[in-house]
Amino acid sequence: MLDADFFRRWMAATAASVDREAERLTQLDSPIGDADHGSNLHRGFAAVMAALETEAPDTPGAVLVLAGRQLISTVGGASGPLYGTLLRRTGKALGEAAEVGVEQFAAALRDGVEGVKKLGGAVAGDKTMIDALEPAVNALGDGFAAARQAAEQGAEATIPLQARKGRASYLGERSIGHQDPGATSSALLIAGLEAAAEG
């Protein structure tokens, strides 16, 4: 079973990897975006960690709803409302249980991904975070390591795609040949689950 501490560790692991990879995320956002993805997420996850410390939510759902709210209010870019919706919607689906099973979490995360698709209008293959998140959710039944691998493969598979959503889509065919920054940060988020499970 996964408790509030597990979800706190998930956010902490993601905040740490976003810190570590901020430069790379911003570099990926340079040729096909506006070179701010790393700094956007760095700011967002710093706010998430600060809020988790001051408000100390005590259920899995409350941790994720709070985290999502922080991302929406502190990340200026497109990714803030999208990641915020992902976490908030996932948290809402978990309800008020003190502990949740992995299957329940997988179903909730699927809800979250549906929320992102609805808000942003992207489907798989549009060269967005969905290209990492959707395969990860589909692989989650096989464990956190399988989900991480699926997300990483999904992020790499965005390289030959032409962007159809977000800033990168303005470039048309010139968006081909670059890895999507949001799919890359989504792989970091999913990798955080494995780190959280290791304690």
Q: For binding to ligand ADP (CB under 6 A), which residues are involved? A: 29, 33-34, 36-37, 40, 77-79, 82, 120-122, 128-130, 165-167, 180-183
Q: By Cβ distance, which residue is nearest to ligand ADP?
A: 182
Single residue of 36, 126, 131, 152 touching Mg ion by CB under 5 A: 36
Exposed/middle/buried for 146, CB within 10 Å: 0-12, 13-18, 19+? middle
5: partner contacted, choices Mg ion, ligand ADP, none (Cβ within 5-8 A by kind) = none
Contacts 24+ apart (CB under 8 A), 146-151: 147/190, 147/193, 147/194, 148/187, 148/190, 148/191, 148/193, 148/194, 150/190, 151/186, 151/187, 151/189, 151/190, 151/191
**What does the per-residue mask of binding to Mg ion show for 55-94, with x meaning CB under 5 A?**
----------------------x-----------------
Residue 22: strand, helix, or coil = helix
CB of 87 to ligand ADP, least distance (A): 14
Q: Under the criterion CB under 5 A, does residue 180 sit at the interface with Mg ion? A: no
Residues contributing to the site for Mg ion (CB under 5 A): 29, 33-34, 36-37, 77
